[in-house]
Amino acid sequence: MFELVEGDADMTGGGGSESAMGGYLFEHGYPVDRTAQQARDEADVQRAVTAYRFWYPTVSMEGIFNGNREIGLADNEAVGIASTGPLQVGFTLNSDTPYGAAVLDLSAGPMVVDVPQGPFIGLVDDHHQRWITDLGIPGPDRGQGGTYVITPPGHRGELPPHAHVGRSASNKVLLAIRALPIGGDLTKALDALRAVRIHPLGFPDRTLEFVDTTEKPVDSTCLRWEDDIEFWRVLHGIVTAEPPVAEFLPMYGLLSTLGIEKGAPFAPDERMSAILARAARTGRDQMLVSAFASDREDRIAWPDRRWEWVGLVADNGDFATPAGIDLEARDRWFSQAIIASPAMFRRQVGGGSLYWLGVRDASGAFLDGGTSYTLEIPQPVPGTLFWSITIYDAQTRSQVQADRNSAALRSMFELNDVDQTGPLRLHFGPTAPRGAENRWLQTVPGRGWFAYLRIYGPEQAAFDGTWKPADFEKTG
C-alpha cells in the first residue's frame, strides 16, 4: 500500500557528503533511493490535488446529468421541472422559483430552444460548467422571447436566421431555466415552463417532454464520487467521451501523468489508486476551506458584518480577471454551487440577483445545527422583484433536511404579510420559538449549516451600505 514517507535526518547513501534540500536527502548532488521515491510520491499527490480542483466543476456537472437520468429523464428526451425543496439534493438549489433542467446531447446535431415572452431566467452551460448563453430576461431576448440554437463543437452547418446562437465546446450541455412565480403563483410558473419548446434542429415535432419531479427525491450532486477513487473514474469517462478543450491542454497533460488519457484505459495500480483517493479527499477539503473559511478580504460584503459575497468575481461567468483565472473564486463557487453565468455574479442596480453567504454568527463561530439563533432583516428589503433566505447543510451543500421539510423563508410566500415599517426577526434552530413558528427554519443538531440571502432585482441601497442585514445572534 502506498504511504508517503517523511525525510529521515539519519539516512545515509554510501560514501560522500550529504545535504538536505526541501526535506529530501541528496548525496553528491544525487537523490538517495528513499528520497527519490518520496519525491515521486509527493509530486504525484500534488499533481492530483491540482487536477482535482481544476476538474471538479466537470465532475460536478456529471452529477447533475446523472441525477436527471436516475429519475428517468433521458438526454434529449425529457425536461424535469420542479418547485424544489429539501427533497432535491443539489448544491445550493433554492425554492424561490421553479426550475426546469434538461441534458442536451449535441453529438447528433444542434438543439433548438424556443423561449416564449415572459418572466424566464435561464442559461446553457457546457460539460465543464462553462457559460454558453443566457436565456430570457438576462439573455439577448431580454424577456421578449426568442429562438436559441445550441451547436456542437466544430459545427459549420446553416443555422436559422435571427436565432441566438450558443456554441458549445462539449457534446453534453445543461439547459437550466426558471420561471418567476409572479404574485406567488407556483402553479402558473410551472405551467409557464411547459411553454418552452426544445427540439433537434430541423425536427420541430420532436419536442422534449416536460415531467414534474417536485415530489421525487433526486441527488444531482457529485457527493457520492467526490472524495474517493470514483471521482477519477467518472472524470476518465468524461475525458473519453468529450472532445478536448484547447484551453485545457496543460490540464489534460496533468491528467495523463495520473493515468487518465483519452483513448486509453484507466487502470491505476495500488500505489496510484491510493494517491488518487488521498488527493480526492485533500482536494475536496481544500475547496471547502475556500468556501467556508477563506481569508480573502474581498469576500466581506460589509466591514461591520459577518456576511460574505458568494461570488468573488463580478460580471463574468468564467472567473476571469486581468491577471488570469481567479482559481480561488472558482473553487469557492463550485464547492458550494452549480452552474455559472455573468448574470449570476453581476453587481448592478436592477440587474439579476445578489447572493450573500452567512456561515458564522456575530461572534465569528460557525453556525451550529444544535444552537438557536435570530436574524434581523431591515425592512423594506431593497429588491424590485423578491428576496429570500435559504439554509443549507454544510456537508451536502444542499437544503437542510429536517422534520419540518422547509429550508427557505421567501418574500413571495412565507413572508408575504411582513410589516415593512420595522425590522423583521427570523429564527433558526432545532426547536420552534413559541409564537414565531411561521418565521422559523429548523436545523439539525450535530450538523453545521449556512445561509444564502438572495435579492432579485437589487436596488441601490443593497450596494451602498444604507441597507444591510444584522448578523446571526445566538439565543440558546
Q: How many CA atoms lie within 13 A of 433 on its CB side?
A: 16
What's the distance, CA 98 to chain centroid? 18
Angle CA 301–307–309, to nearest 5:
50
Structural domain boundaries, residue 120: 71-219
Q: Quick one: 180 and 88 in the same domain?
A: yes
Q: Is the pLDDT of residue 11 over 80?
A: no
For the record, the C-alpha cell of 268 comes out as: 491505476
pLDDT of residue 261: 97
* Residue 266 included in any domain: no
Domain end position, chosen among 173, 198, 219: 219
Domain count of the fold of the chain:
2
Q: Is residue 45 part of a domain?
A: no
pLDDT digits (tens, 9 = 90+) for 393-427: 999 999 999 999 999 999 999 999 998 888 999 99
Residue that finishes a domain, picked among 163, 196, 219: 219
The CATH number for 335's domain is: 2.60.120.600
d(CA 56, CA 50): 10
- In the prediction, which pLDDT does 22 show? 60
**pLDDT score at 184:** 86
Cα–Cα distance list, 220 to 55, 65, 150, 283, 330 (Å): 17, 7, 23, 20, 20
Same domain (yes/no): 325, 212: no
Cβ neighbors of 353 (< 8 A, separation 6 or more) are 344, 454, 455, 456, 457, 458
My answer on whether 180 and 318 are in the same domain is: no
For residue 210, CA distances in Å to 72, 89, 329 come to 12, 20, 35
Q: Give the pLDDT of residue 18.
A: 46
In a domain, 249, yes or no: no
Q: Among all chains, which residue has been given the C-alpha cell 436559441?
A: 148
C-alpha distances (whole Å) from 144 to each of 94, 140, 350 are 25, 9, 17
pLDDT band, residue 14 (cuts 50/70/90): very low
Q: What is the pLDDT of residue 10?
A: 40
Backbone angles phi, psi at 182, to 5 degrees: -55, 130
Q: How high is the pLDDT of residue 5?
A: 44
Identify any residues that bridge with 450 across adjacent strands, giving them in sequence order: 392
| DSSP per position, 297-361 | GGGBSSTTSS-EES-SS-S-SS-EETTEE-HHHHHHHHHH-----HHHH--BTTBSEEEEEE-BB
Residue 382 lies in a domain: yes
| Residue 336 shares a structural domain with residue 196 | no
Q: Are residues 195 and 317 in the same domain?
A: no
pLDDT score, position 339? 93
Confidence check: pLDDT of 20 > 50: no
Return the bridge partners of 321, or none.
324
Q: Which amino acid is at 438?
A: N
Length of the chain measured in residues: 476
Q: Please check whether residues 300 and 194 belong to one and the same domain.
A: no
How many CA atoms, within 13 angstroms, populate the side-chain half-sphere of residue 41? 20
Same domain, 302 and 186: no
For residue 9, CA distances in Å to 18, 34, 41 come to 10, 12, 19
The rounded radius of gyration (Å) of the Cα atoms in the chain is 24
Residue 59 lies in a domain: no
- Hey, what's the cell of 464? 451602498
Range in 181-195, 234-248, 309-323, 413-427 the model is least confident about: 309-323
* Distance separating alpha carbons of residues 450 and 358, to the nearest angstrom: 6
Residue 366 falls inside a structural domain: yes
Say whether the peptide bond before residue 243 is cis (omega within 30 degrees of 0). Answer: no
How would residue 16 be classed by pLDDT, with cut points 50, 70 and 90? very low
Place of cell 437589487: 458
| Any domain includes 41 | no
Q: At what angle do helices 327-336 and 33-70 cross, to 10 degrees?
A: 50
Q: Is residue 21 scored above 70 in pLDDT? A: no
Q: How far is CA 409 from CA 223, 323, 447, in A?
A: 26, 39, 20
pLDDT confidence tier of residue 12, bands split at 50, 70 and 90:
very low
Of residues 342 and 226, more confidence is placed in 226
Q: Is the pLDDT of residue 152 over 50?
A: yes
Looking at the fold, whether 318 and 196 belong to one and the same domain comes out as no
Model confidence at 4, pLDDT cuts 50, 70, 90, reads very low
Q: What's the mean pLDDT in 101-127?
A: 97
Burial string for 379-416 (b: 16+ CB within 10 Å, else e) reads eebbbebbbbbbbbbbebbbbbbbeeebbbbbbbbbbe
Contact 134, 125 (CB under 8 A): no
Type of residue found at 270: E
Please give the angle made by the CA atoms of 329, 330 and 331, to the nearest 5 degrees.
90
Same structural domain for residues 299 and 191? no
pLDDT per residue over 53-108, tens digit each?
Answer: 999 999 999 999 999 999 999 999 999 999 989 999 999 999 999 999 999 999 99
| 215 shares its domain with 308 | no
- In this predicted model, what pLDDT tens digit does every residue of 181-223 receive, in sequence order? 988 889 999 999 999 999 999 999 999 999 999 999 999 999 9
Of 190, 219, 248, the domain-final residue: 219
Three-state secondary structure call for residue 441: strand
pLDDT at 1: 44
pLDDT value of position 349: 85
Q: Model-level pTM greater than 0.85?
A: yes
User: Nearest-CA neighbor of 100 among 76, 120, 117, 86?
Assistant: 120
Q: Are residues 214 and 300 in the same domain?
A: no
Q: Which SS3 state, helix, strand or coil, does residue 368 take?
A: strand
Residue 154 pLDDT: 93
78 domain residue, yes or no:
yes
Average pLDDT over residues 245-259: 96
Residues 76 and 207 in one domain: yes
Contact 200, 76 (CB under 8 A): yes
> What is the reported pLDDT for 116?
97
